[in-house]
DNA sequence: AAAATTTATTATGCATGCATAATAAATTTA
DNA sequence: TAAATTTATTATGCATGCATAATAAATTTT
Protein backbone atom coordinates (compact mmCIF):
# COMPACT_ATOMS: atom_id res chain seq x y z
CA UNK A 1 0.00 0.00 0.00
CA UNK A 2 3.11 2.11 -0.16
CA UNK A 3 3.22 3.02 -3.84
CA UNK A 4 0.38 4.72 -5.58
CA UNK A 5 -2.27 2.23 -6.52
CA UNK A 6 -4.24 2.23 -9.73
CA UNK A 7 -7.53 2.74 -7.95
CA UNK A 8 -6.16 5.64 -5.94
CA UNK A 9 -4.80 7.43 -8.99
CA UNK A 10 -8.09 6.90 -10.77
CA UNK A 11 -10.20 8.08 -7.88
CA UNK A 12 -8.12 11.09 -6.93
CA UNK A 13 -7.81 12.22 -10.53
CA UNK A 14 -11.47 11.81 -11.29
CA UNK A 15 -12.49 13.69 -8.15
CA UNK A 16 -10.15 16.44 -9.16
CA UNK A 17 -11.77 16.67 -12.58
CA UNK A 18 -15.22 16.53 -11.02
CA UNK A 19 -14.47 19.41 -8.67
CA UNK A 20 -13.19 21.48 -11.56
CA UNK A 21 -16.20 20.63 -13.74
CA UNK A 22 -18.62 21.50 -10.97
CA UNK A 23 -16.81 24.74 -10.34
CA UNK A 24 -17.00 25.67 -14.01
CA UNK A 25 -20.62 24.59 -14.34
CA UNK A 26 -21.53 26.73 -11.39
CA UNK A 27 -20.43 29.79 -13.34
CA UNK A 28 -23.39 29.33 -15.64
CA UNK A 29 -25.75 27.97 -13.03
CA UNK A 30 -25.34 24.29 -13.69
CA UNK A 31 -23.63 21.21 -12.31
CA UNK A 32 -21.36 18.60 -13.77
CA UNK A 33 -23.98 15.88 -13.79
CA UNK A 34 -26.54 18.09 -15.49
CA UNK A 35 -23.92 19.10 -18.03
CA UNK A 36 -23.12 15.50 -18.85
CA UNK A 37 -26.79 14.74 -19.23
CA UNK A 38 -27.25 17.69 -21.57
CA UNK A 39 -24.32 16.51 -23.66
CA UNK A 40 -25.79 13.03 -23.86
CA UNK A 41 -29.10 14.26 -25.22
CA UNK A 42 -29.35 14.59 -28.96
CA UNK A 43 -30.02 18.27 -29.67
CA UNK A 44 -32.11 17.46 -32.74
CA UNK A 45 -34.33 14.53 -31.91
CA UNK A 46 -35.78 12.79 -28.89
CA UNK A 47 -33.33 10.68 -26.98
CA UNK A 48 -34.57 7.46 -25.34
CA UNK A 49 -33.79 7.86 -21.71
CA UNK A 50 -32.50 4.29 -21.84
CA UNK A 51 -29.51 5.40 -23.81
CA UNK A 52 -28.48 8.10 -21.38
CA UNK A 53 -27.14 5.93 -18.56
CA UNK A 54 -24.53 4.17 -20.68
CA UNK A 55 -23.59 7.42 -22.40
CA UNK A 56 -22.93 8.97 -19.03
CA UNK A 57 -21.19 5.99 -17.52
CA UNK A 58 -23.78 5.38 -14.85
CA UNK A 59 -26.61 3.05 -13.96
CA UNK A 60 -29.91 3.80 -15.64
CA UNK A 61 -31.70 4.05 -12.34
CA UNK A 62 -29.46 6.89 -11.24
CA UNK A 63 -30.90 9.13 -13.92
CA UNK A 64 -34.50 9.38 -12.86
CA UNK A 65 -33.98 12.05 -10.25
CA UNK A 66 -31.68 14.19 -12.30
CA UNK A 67 -33.98 14.13 -15.32
CA UNK A 68 -36.83 15.16 -13.07
CA UNK A 69 -34.91 18.14 -11.73
CA UNK A 70 -33.77 19.05 -15.23
CA UNK A 71 -37.36 19.04 -16.37
CA UNK A 72 -38.37 21.23 -13.43
CA UNK A 73 -35.62 23.67 -14.36
CA UNK A 74 -36.90 23.81 -17.90
CA UNK A 75 -33.84 22.20 -19.46
CA UNK A 76 -35.61 19.22 -20.96
CA UNK A 77 -39.00 17.75 -21.63
CA UNK A 78 -39.94 14.14 -21.21
CA UNK A 79 -42.54 12.78 -23.60
CA UNK A 80 -43.88 9.27 -23.86
CA UNK A 81 -42.16 7.14 -26.45
CA UNK A 82 -44.74 6.31 -29.12
CA UNK A 83 -42.91 3.10 -29.93
CA UNK A 84 -42.73 1.82 -26.37
CA UNK A 85 -45.34 2.42 -23.73
CA UNK A 86 -42.76 2.03 -20.98
CA UNK A 87 -40.22 4.37 -22.43
CA UNK A 88 -39.64 8.06 -22.44
CA UNK A 89 -38.06 10.33 -25.00
CA UNK A 90 -36.03 13.26 -23.73
CA UNK A 91 -36.00 16.55 -25.63
CA UNK A 92 -33.89 19.60 -25.04
CA UNK A 93 -35.70 22.90 -24.59
CA UNK A 94 -34.18 26.06 -26.09
CA UNK A 95 -32.89 26.85 -22.62
CA UNK A 96 -31.42 23.38 -22.37
CA UNK A 97 -29.76 23.78 -25.74
CA UNK A 98 -28.13 26.95 -24.54
CA UNK A 99 -26.78 25.34 -21.40
CA UNK A 100 -25.64 22.41 -23.48
CA UNK A 101 -23.36 24.71 -25.42
CA UNK A 102 -21.83 26.02 -22.21
CA UNK A 103 -21.18 22.50 -20.99
CA UNK A 104 -19.77 21.44 -24.30
CA UNK A 105 -17.27 24.28 -24.24
CA UNK A 106 -15.98 23.25 -20.86
CA UNK A 107 -15.62 19.62 -21.81
CA UNK A 108 -14.01 20.33 -25.16
CA UNK A 109 -11.54 22.71 -23.63
CA UNK A 110 -10.52 20.31 -20.91
CA UNK A 111 -10.00 17.46 -23.33
CA UNK A 112 -8.12 19.64 -25.74
CA UNK A 113 -5.74 21.02 -23.15
CA UNK A 114 -5.03 17.59 -21.72
CA UNK A 115 -4.50 16.06 -25.14
CA UNK A 116 -1.99 18.74 -25.97
CA UNK A 117 0.15 17.57 -23.11
CA UNK A 118 0.08 13.92 -24.07
CA UNK A 119 1.66 11.82 -26.77
CA UNK A 120 -0.46 9.47 -28.86
CA UNK A 121 1.26 6.62 -27.13
CA UNK A 122 0.26 7.88 -23.71
CA UNK A 123 -3.27 8.58 -24.80
CA UNK A 124 -3.70 5.18 -26.38
CA UNK A 125 -2.27 3.44 -23.35
CA UNK A 126 -4.65 5.40 -21.16
CA UNK A 127 -7.70 4.24 -23.09
CA UNK A 128 -6.36 0.69 -23.11
CA UNK A 129 -5.97 0.75 -19.36
CA UNK A 130 -9.52 2.08 -18.93
CA UNK A 131 -10.80 -0.69 -21.13
CA UNK A 132 -8.83 -3.32 -19.28
CA UNK A 133 -10.21 -2.18 -15.95
CA UNK A 134 -13.75 -2.23 -17.26
CA UNK A 135 -13.23 -5.69 -18.62
CA UNK A 136 -11.73 -7.00 -15.42
CA UNK A 137 -14.76 -5.74 -13.56
CA UNK A 138 -17.44 -6.80 -15.98
CA UNK A 139 -15.94 -10.23 -16.33
CA UNK A 140 -15.70 -10.52 -12.58
CA UNK A 141 -12.14 -11.68 -12.86
CA UNK A 142 -11.56 -10.67 -9.30
CA UNK A 143 -14.18 -11.93 -6.94
CA UNK A 144 -15.65 -15.15 -8.20
CA UNK A 145 -17.58 -15.75 -5.00
CA UNK A 146 -20.98 -15.71 -6.66
CA UNK A 147 -20.63 -17.93 -9.70
CA UNK A 148 -18.28 -18.54 -12.56
CA UNK A 149 -20.99 -18.50 -15.17
CA UNK A 150 -21.94 -14.94 -14.54
CA UNK B 1 -18.18 14.73 -28.94
CA UNK B 2 -18.25 11.65 -31.14
CA UNK B 3 -15.19 9.75 -29.98
CA UNK B 4 -14.68 8.77 -26.42
CA UNK B 5 -13.37 11.66 -24.43
CA UNK B 6 -10.76 11.47 -21.72
CA UNK B 7 -13.14 12.72 -19.07
CA UNK B 8 -15.81 10.23 -20.07
CA UNK B 9 -13.43 7.28 -19.94
CA UNK B 10 -12.16 8.42 -16.58
CA UNK B 11 -15.60 8.95 -15.13
CA UNK B 12 -17.19 5.79 -16.46
CA UNK B 13 -14.26 3.65 -15.40
CA UNK B 14 -14.04 5.13 -11.96
CA UNK B 15 -17.76 4.73 -11.37
CA UNK B 16 -17.44 1.13 -12.45
CA UNK B 17 -14.66 0.55 -9.94
CA UNK B 18 -16.64 2.36 -7.27
CA UNK B 19 -19.71 0.19 -7.80
CA UNK B 20 -17.58 -2.92 -7.56
CA UNK B 21 -15.79 -1.69 -4.43
CA UNK B 22 -19.06 -0.81 -2.76
CA UNK B 23 -20.49 -4.18 -3.67
CA UNK B 24 -17.50 -5.96 -2.19
CA UNK B 25 -17.43 -3.79 0.90
CA UNK B 26 -21.08 -4.55 1.51
CA UNK B 27 -20.19 -8.20 1.92
CA UNK B 28 -18.42 -7.36 5.16
CA UNK B 29 -20.74 -4.58 6.18
CA UNK B 30 -18.74 -1.64 4.96
CA UNK B 31 -18.59 0.87 2.13
CA UNK B 32 -15.92 1.95 -0.27
CA UNK B 33 -15.36 5.32 1.36
CA UNK B 34 -15.04 3.80 4.81
CA UNK B 35 -12.64 1.24 3.42
CA UNK B 36 -10.44 3.92 1.90
CA UNK B 37 -10.45 5.81 5.15
CA UNK B 38 -9.45 2.70 7.08
CA UNK B 39 -6.60 2.10 4.66
CA UNK B 40 -5.42 5.67 5.08
CA UNK B 41 -5.19 5.40 8.84
CA UNK B 42 -1.92 4.13 10.23
CA UNK B 43 -2.70 0.91 12.08
CA UNK B 44 0.03 1.51 14.63
CA UNK B 45 -0.07 5.14 15.61
CA UNK B 46 -2.45 8.08 15.61
CA UNK B 47 -3.00 9.61 12.21
CA UNK B 48 -3.57 13.37 11.96
CA UNK B 49 -6.90 13.77 10.34
CA UNK B 50 -5.28 16.43 8.18
CA UNK B 51 -3.35 13.80 6.31
CA UNK B 52 -6.40 11.72 5.45
CA UNK B 53 -7.94 13.95 2.79
CA UNK B 54 -4.93 13.98 0.51
CA UNK B 55 -4.36 10.27 1.06
CA UNK B 56 -7.90 9.60 -0.07
CA UNK B 57 -7.91 12.04 -2.94
CA UNK B 58 -10.58 14.29 -1.48
CA UNK B 59 -11.03 17.62 0.20
CA UNK B 60 -10.33 17.68 3.91
CA UNK B 61 -13.77 19.02 4.69
CA UNK B 62 -15.42 16.00 3.13
CA UNK B 63 -14.00 13.79 5.83
CA UNK B 64 -15.69 15.15 8.90
CA UNK B 65 -18.95 13.33 8.44
CA UNK B 66 -17.45 10.00 7.52
CA UNK B 67 -15.06 10.06 10.48
CA UNK B 68 -17.98 10.81 12.72
CA UNK B 69 -19.95 7.84 11.43
CA UNK B 70 -16.88 5.62 11.64
CA UNK B 71 -16.45 6.62 15.25
CA UNK B 72 -20.11 5.85 15.96
CA UNK B 73 -19.66 2.44 14.39
CA UNK B 74 -16.67 1.78 16.61
CA UNK B 75 -14.14 1.65 13.80
CA UNK B 76 -12.01 4.53 15.01
CA UNK B 77 -11.44 6.87 17.90
CA UNK B 78 -10.69 10.56 17.60
CA UNK B 79 -8.46 12.01 20.27
CA UNK B 80 -7.17 15.55 20.58
CA UNK B 81 -3.74 16.10 19.14
CA UNK B 82 -1.44 17.01 22.04
CA UNK B 83 0.77 18.96 19.67
CA UNK B 84 -1.98 21.04 18.13
CA UNK B 85 -5.06 22.23 19.93
CA UNK B 86 -7.00 22.41 16.69
CA UNK B 87 -6.09 18.99 15.44
CA UNK B 88 -7.31 15.48 15.94
CA UNK B 89 -5.51 12.17 15.88
CA UNK B 90 -7.39 9.20 14.49
CA UNK B 91 -6.83 5.73 15.93
CA UNK B 92 -8.11 2.42 14.69
CA UNK B 93 -10.01 0.27 17.15
CA UNK B 94 -9.51 -3.52 17.09
CA UNK B 95 -12.77 -3.70 15.14
CA UNK B 96 -11.49 -1.08 12.73
CA UNK B 97 -8.27 -3.00 12.28
CA UNK B 98 -10.23 -6.06 11.36
CA UNK B 99 -12.29 -4.22 8.75
CA UNK B 100 -9.13 -2.62 7.49
CA UNK B 101 -7.79 -6.02 6.60
CA UNK B 102 -10.94 -6.84 4.67
CA UNK B 103 -10.67 -3.61 2.72
CA UNK B 104 -7.02 -4.12 2.06
CA UNK B 105 -7.66 -7.54 0.57
CA UNK B 106 -10.18 -6.12 -1.87
CA UNK B 107 -7.93 -3.28 -2.96
CA UNK B 108 -4.83 -5.44 -3.28
CA UNK B 109 -6.66 -8.04 -5.30
CA UNK B 110 -8.11 -5.49 -7.69
CA UNK B 111 -4.78 -3.81 -8.29
CA UNK B 112 -3.05 -7.13 -8.71
CA UNK B 113 -5.50 -8.47 -11.25
CA UNK B 114 -5.46 -5.28 -13.27
CA UNK B 115 -1.68 -5.07 -13.22
CA UNK B 116 -1.46 -8.60 -14.51
CA UNK B 117 -3.30 -7.53 -17.61
CA UNK B 118 -1.11 -4.54 -18.31
CA UNK B 119 2.39 -4.00 -19.61
CA UNK B 120 4.79 -1.75 -17.75
CA UNK B 121 4.51 0.67 -20.61
CA UNK B 122 0.76 0.86 -20.29
CA UNK B 123 0.91 1.22 -16.56
CA UNK B 124 3.52 3.95 -16.69
CA UNK B 125 1.61 5.82 -19.35
CA UNK B 126 -1.52 5.58 -17.22
CA UNK B 127 0.15 7.15 -14.21
CA UNK B 128 1.68 9.80 -16.42
CA UNK B 129 -1.71 10.69 -17.82
CA UNK B 130 -3.20 10.91 -14.34
CA UNK B 131 -0.39 13.20 -13.31
CA UNK B 132 -0.81 15.35 -16.38
CA UNK B 133 -4.51 15.78 -15.73
CA UNK B 134 -3.90 16.73 -12.13
CA UNK B 135 -1.31 19.24 -13.19
CA UNK B 136 -3.52 20.76 -15.84
CA UNK B 137 -6.20 21.26 -13.24
CA UNK B 138 -4.05 22.47 -10.39
CA UNK B 139 -2.22 24.89 -12.62
CA UNK B 140 -5.51 26.15 -14.00
CA UNK B 141 -4.23 25.77 -17.50
CA UNK B 142 -7.77 25.66 -18.76
CA UNK B 143 -9.89 28.43 -17.36
CA UNK B 144 -7.81 31.43 -16.55
CA UNK B 145 -10.82 33.60 -15.76
CA UNK B 146 -9.85 34.21 -12.17
CA UNK B 147 -6.17 35.11 -12.23
CA UNK B 148 -2.94 33.97 -13.74
CA UNK B 149 -1.00 34.20 -10.53
CA UNK B 150 -2.95 31.54 -8.80
C1' DA C 1 -53.80 -16.59 -25.22
C1' DA C 2 -52.43 -16.89 -20.26
C1' DA C 3 -48.46 -16.99 -17.37
C1' DA C 4 -43.82 -15.98 -16.45
C1' DT C 5 -40.03 -13.10 -17.39
C1' DT C 6 -37.75 -9.13 -18.87
C1' DT C 7 -37.31 -4.22 -19.55
C1' DA C 8 -38.06 0.89 -18.70
C1' DT C 9 -39.07 4.08 -15.23
C1' DT C 10 -39.94 6.27 -10.96
C1' DA C 11 -39.73 6.61 -5.86
C1' DT C 12 -36.96 6.06 -1.65
C1' DG C 13 -33.43 5.92 1.63
C1' DC C 14 -28.47 5.75 2.40
C1' DA C 15 -23.81 7.32 1.89
C1' DT C 16 -20.99 10.52 -0.15
C1' DG C 17 -18.23 14.83 -1.73
C1' DC C 18 -18.34 19.48 -1.83
C1' DA C 19 -18.88 24.42 -0.90
C1' DT C 20 -19.88 27.48 2.62
C1' DA C 21 -20.18 29.14 7.12
C1' DA C 22 -18.79 28.76 12.07
C1' DT C 23 -15.35 28.06 15.64
C1' DA C 24 -11.21 27.74 17.83
C1' DA C 25 -6.33 27.49 18.03
C1' DA C 26 -1.84 28.59 15.96
C1' DT C 27 1.01 31.82 13.21
C1' DT C 28 2.37 35.83 11.23
C1' DT C 29 2.18 40.87 11.07
C1' DA C 30 2.21 45.14 12.56
C1' DT D 1 1.91 41.89 22.45
C1' DA D 2 -2.40 43.00 19.96
C1' DA D 3 -4.43 42.40 15.45
C1' DA D 4 -4.84 40.07 11.25
C1' DT D 5 -4.38 35.87 8.88
C1' DT D 6 -4.05 31.10 8.34
C1' DT D 7 -5.12 26.39 9.53
C1' DA D 8 -7.87 22.35 11.42
C1' DT D 9 -12.36 20.86 12.25
C1' DT D 10 -17.24 20.41 12.48
C1' DA D 11 -22.00 21.45 10.96
C1' DT D 12 -25.19 22.15 7.08
C1' DG D 13 -27.55 21.91 2.88
C1' DC D 14 -27.36 20.50 -1.93
C1' DA D 15 -26.64 17.28 -5.63
C1' DT D 16 -25.40 12.84 -6.74
C1' DG D 17 -25.05 7.59 -7.61
C1' DC D 18 -26.65 3.46 -6.17
C1' DA D 19 -29.38 -0.50 -4.56
C1' DT D 20 -33.91 -1.88 -3.80
C1' DA D 21 -38.68 -1.95 -4.31
C1' DA D 22 -42.86 -0.73 -7.09
C1' DT D 23 -45.29 -0.29 -11.44
C1' DA D 24 -46.45 -0.86 -15.95
C1' DA D 25 -45.70 -2.32 -20.55
C1' DA D 26 -43.41 -5.50 -23.78
C1' DT D 27 -41.54 -10.23 -24.68
C1' DT D 28 -41.01 -14.85 -24.24
C1' DT D 29 -42.70 -19.28 -22.62
C1' DT D 30 -46.10 -22.58 -22.05
Q: Residues of B with CB below 8 A from A40's CB? A: none
Q: What are phi and psi of B26, to 5 degrees?
A: -60, -30
Q: How far apart are CA B38 and CA B47, in angstroms?
A: 11
Instruction: For chain B, give the percent of residues with pLDDT over 90.
Output: 90
Q: Which of A107, A112, A125 to mutate to test the interface with B (most CBs of B within 10 A)?
A: A125
Which residues, 6 or more positions from A149, have their beta carbon under 8 angstroms from its beta carbon?
A: none
Q: Residues of B with CB below 8 A from A8's CB? A: 57
Which pLDDT value is given to residue A49? 95
A7-34 pLDDT tens trace:
999 999 999 999 999 999 999 999 999 9
pTM (two decimals): 0.93
- Interface contact A142, partner B, CB < 8 A: yes
Q: Is the CB of A23 under 7 A from strand C?
A: yes
B8-18 pLDDT tens trace:
999 999 999 99
One digit per residue, pLDDT tens: chain B, 150 residues?
A: 458 999 999 999 999 999 999 999 999 999 999 999 999 999 999 999 999 999 999 999 999 999 999 999 999 999 999 999 999 999 999 999 999 999 999 999 999 999 999 999 999 999 999 999 999 999 876 764 443 332
Whole-number distance in Å between A121 CA and D17 C1':
33
Amino acid sequence: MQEITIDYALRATWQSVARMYNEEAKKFGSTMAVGFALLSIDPKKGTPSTSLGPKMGMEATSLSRILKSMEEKGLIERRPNPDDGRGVLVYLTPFGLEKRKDSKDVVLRFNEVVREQLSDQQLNAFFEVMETINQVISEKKIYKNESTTN
